[in-house]
Every structure is written in C-alpha cells, then in structure tokens.
Copies of this chain bind each other. A is one copy, B any other.
C-alpha cells in the first residue's frame, strides 16, 4: 500500500510563533502524513530562552492555539512535528522537566505527545542536557495501518560516549514484537558542516538497510547566529536516495514510499565521523598538502559558499540590516568577503566598500581594490588614515616618554580603521562584516578592536588555504569578481613597510595543517611531530595559539561550517597555565 508523506523543510525565526502557526495551518490538509522538523514549534537552538517566563508563557499559549485549531478540523491528514514538553514544579512555572518531543497533530483532537528524544547531544555547541531530560523509550507510530519508527536527530547517531544506541534499542523491540516498519522517521535540527551530507547519507543507508525500510530524514532550515541548519532533507530507500530537498531553502515535497526490496539484517557499520569519536581521531592526510584541504570537491565548495551567503542573510534579516559594509584592504580575505556579499544581495539590499590606506599601503593595494569594485559595480569610498595616525602619534610623543614604534604603531592603524568603519556603519545603519580567517584567529594575528571588529565573521571558520580555495571556486563559477592579482600576491597586513605574513608565521599550507591538528584533533607537540611536521613551526604555532585566547574570547559570532570551530562550541579557559608548553 502506498502511503503519501509530505516533507516540510520549514524555515522560521526562533520563537516566531505567529509565522509557525500560519505555516502549519496552511499546509495541513488532504490525506497524507505531514512531517515537520525537530522543535518545529519553537525553532532551535533556544538556549536559556526555554527558561524565561515570557517565552514559556507564550509557547504554552501557542501550543494551545494550535491544539484548538486542530480540534476544529476534520479530515484524514495527520502531522508529526517537534516541540517542547514542560513539566512544572508549581504555580510559579519553575520547569521541573523539559523534553524535546514529537507531537502528533490530529484533526478533531489536537496535539498528542508521542516521543521524547533519547540521545541529547551535549558536546561542542550542543548543550541539550543543560535544558532537556532524555526520553526512556522507543516510539512506534500508527498511520493507516502502517507502523513508523520515530527518532529525533541525534538518536540516529551511535557513539561510544553515549550509553545507549537508539537504533539498536528500536531494532530490539522491532524483533521482539515482530513489527513490520513502513519507515523510520527522523525529525532533525542538524547543523551544516562542509562534508556532513555524505556522512548523513552513509549513516541513513545503513539504517535503512538495517530496518529493511525507508529512512526519512527531515531537517530544519535556518541560520541562528553562528549555527546554520541546511535542510537537505532526504528519503533513503535501501542503498538509494529516492527524494532529496534543497539545501538552505524552505521547501515542501510529497513522496510515496515503499519498503526496500531486500531487507538487510546486519548491524550498521560504525562510522565515527559525526560522533564523539569523530572529534578525536586524527584523519589528517599528510600526503596531500595542505592536508586540511584534501577533501573539498566542487560540490562541497558550492555548499560552503551557499552556507556563508545564507548565514549572512539570516543574521542580517533577523537583525534588521539592509546594508552591508566591508573594509577592503587589497588583500584576499576582504576581497572574498566583498565578492560573496555582493553575490548574495537580495532586492533592496546594498553593500558599500571602504578603503582606508595608511602610509604603509602599497599602491598595488589601491589599484586592486579599485579594480575589484569596478568589476562588482560597487562604489569605493576612500578614507585615508595617514593624518589621524600621525595626530595620534604626535599626541603620544608629546604626552608620554615611552617610544611609539613597532607593534604600538601597527595596532593604532588597525584600531583607527575599526573606529572609522564603525562610524560609517553608524551613519548608514550598515552591518559591518568581519574579514578575519580561521588561521589568523587561531594564532592571534589580528588587532583587538581593530581588524577584528564586526557584527559577524564570514570567513572565521575557513583557514587561509581554504579562503584561497573558495576564492578560486568563486572566480571560476561566478565571472571572476576577484582580480587575479589579489589571489596571487603574498598576504600582508601592511602595518609596516614590506611586511609579509610569512615573516611572522609558518607558511599557510603547513600552518593550517598544524592548526587543524590542534583544533580538530586536539593534538599536542608530540603527536604533531609524529605526523612529520617541523618542530620549530609546531612550537611557534602552539605558542601563538595558546597566547591569543583572550582575543578569541571577545570575537564576533563566526559562521560555522566545520565540525570544530571557534565560537560557542569552543570552550577554553583564557588564563590557564600554558599546557601547550608543558611538553617542550
């Protein structure tokens, strides 16, 4: 028997209860089973919002409005959607137990709580055990004489750090009760990562083969500060993807499913990629240089590009920005930020570029910035800092006897630019996009309150070598917005004469490999040496990394496109003893 399933990969701002109600009541009709993502009723992640009285009160009201609407409906449709379940201690609405659940919505009846999420992710950016209590049982859902297994997001991932494996527990009950599943349904709110799609599909294939039925994966779409949900929902039937929704876009699709032909009873292979273990095992391929870049295909580059554009637009729209502001330097990072911003503009939006040369800016930087803006059709504002710079310098020389040179003289240029940039932002109401990359952030190669300013960092999760890769991809597929000269010149902060990044840092190809080892695989000197990396470069990198924690602590949100990023999921004491020097 054919069962019609409607997949709704929806997109709402967190706590946009009116919008959620509207979508829900518009699409629920007809005859099939409608699926919505994890925590569809609220959005995700909510963090402390789940504890605030105005949120709780309004959420419960919202839930009641939906129930009431459903009770007045007739028809044979059903819906499954993610929501919160609150238990209170007393009349004060002190939450005693909060669960992340699946509700069924039934015409004539309302909302029925079916299932509470069993695996609450609590690593990296995930804090679910801070707010939620785990469910303790499987759930099987009946729709028109068909039985569906229910899961929420993390439930599909086994990991040695979790005490249970929900797939295994569900399989056990399936066997004991001799159930025949029509499909396993997983409602998700799963963040984007550059290479995660492949991992999800692999895992889904295993689960579909294990249960001998289709696996329906429905993921939310949304950008929540640094965290991006890509949607990319799909239905896996045995080894085969039979339906696929777009990435970073709200979409609905109707599908009809049949059980896979040849059920497969082997336990799924264990893939550590998206699990606790995945955050540890070094998978750096040293045969490829730069090692960290080994795996991005053109398709993955495109997904990263889409993620950055989507993340920018989400932040801007939710914060009410229609204008963007980028400080161009004539270098690679700011050029890529400007190009991506321009490519992602929507009707009614605009971007402005500002070029703020100092006495150390090369004429090539001016020419390349002009050329870049010409290609993109963006007006370039000049705001030289030479006079301001010398004014500050003179004031210091007159007031203090200490020398004014070296890093002092370099940082002041960067901070004056930060001040001018934000003054311009105040004038036009434009959102300042930060232009730092992950390599700089990791070694503290930036000036606090200077080039590190911004509302949002677009490239802060991309190493410098990856910035180049995306820049080349953009030039190849989007009419070369970036002048070749910007890509080929040596990176420089231009804060003193003839300065090159490589004078202070290891070559980026190796620096990025070392950094990936430290950050993603938690390696120290010993393990990095074993990988064949040069000792002096390892030491230099570890020293710069461990001394710059304070800068990262005050950094803006960074669009997250990797498993391990700086930001909310990176939790490191600032004033710790320098453990990376313990080994030397």
Question: Chain A: residues with CB nearer than 8 A to chain B?
Answer: 13-17, 43, 45-49, 51-55, 57-58, 89, 92, 94-97, 122-123, 127, 129-130, 160-161, 224-225, 276-277, 279-282, 314-315, 318-319, 381-383, 387-388, 391-392, 395-396, 399-400, 402-404, 407-408, 411-412, 415-416, 418-420, 422-424, 426-428, 448-449, 453, 455, 522-527, 550, 553-557, 570-577, 579-580, 582-583
Contact = CB atoms under 8 A, between A and B. Distances in A.
A63 to B, nearest CB: 14
A294 to B, nearest CB: 20
A412 B408 contact: no
A562 to B, nearest CB: 15
23 contacts: A13-B575, A15-B576, A16-B577, A17-B582, A43-B577, A45-B573, A47-B573, A51-B279, A51-B522, A57-B526, A58-B582, A92-B281, A94-B277, A96-B161, A224-B573, A319-B574, A382-B399, A383-B399, A407-B426, A408-B423, A408-B426, A408-B427, A557-B574
Contacts of A13: 575-577
A411 B426 contact: yes
B427 A423 contact: no
A260 B419 CA distance: 65
Q: 10 nearest interchain CB pairs?
A: A54-B524, A318-B575, A47-B571, A415-B419, A94-B280, A15-B577, A408-B426, A13-B577, A402-B427, A129-B129
B391 A575 contact: no
A418 B420 contact: no
A343 B381 CA distance: 49
A427 B553 CA distance: 23
B160 A89 contact: yes
A328 to B, nearest CB: 15
A413 to B, nearest CB: 10
A381 B396 contact: no
Contacts of A318: 575-577
Nearest to A583: B54
A522 B315 CA distance: 25
Given A58-B582, A161-B96, A422 B415 contact: yes
A427 B522 CA distance: 35
A556 to B, nearest CB: 6
Contacts of A48: 570-572
Contacts of A426: 407-408, 411-412
A265 to B, nearest CB: 26
Given A47-B573, A89-B160, 6 more contacts: A15-B577, A46-B573, A52-B524, A58-B582, A129-B129, A411-B426
Contacts of A381: 399-400
A84 B524 CA distance: 20
A553 B555 CA distance: 8
B383 A527 contact: no
A580 B95 CA distance: 19
Contact of A579 (B54, B96, B556): B54
Residue among A95, A395, A449, A556 having the largest count of chain B Cβ atoms under 10 Å: A449
B96 A319 contact: no
A567 B572 CA distance: 14
Contacts of A408: 423, 426-427
B423 A411 contact: yes
Contact of A54 (B423, B525, B556): B525
A384 to B, nearest CB: 8
A475 to B, nearest CB: 30
Contacts of A527: 53
A79 B315 CA distance: 54
Contacts of A525: 54
Contacts of A403: 427
A423 B449 CA distance: 11
A425 to B, nearest CB: 9
Given A416-B419, A449-B422, A573 B49 contact: yes
B391 A387 contact: yes
A449 B414 CA distance: 13
B57 A524 contact: yes
B277 A89 contact: yes
A420 to B, nearest CB: 7
A579 B52 contact: yes
Nearest to A225: B574
A422 B399 contact: no
Contacts of A419: 392, 412, 415-416, 418-419, 449
Contacts of A556: 553-554
Contacts of A402: 427-428
A411 B404 contact: no
Contacts of A281: 92, 94
A228 to B, nearest CB: 12
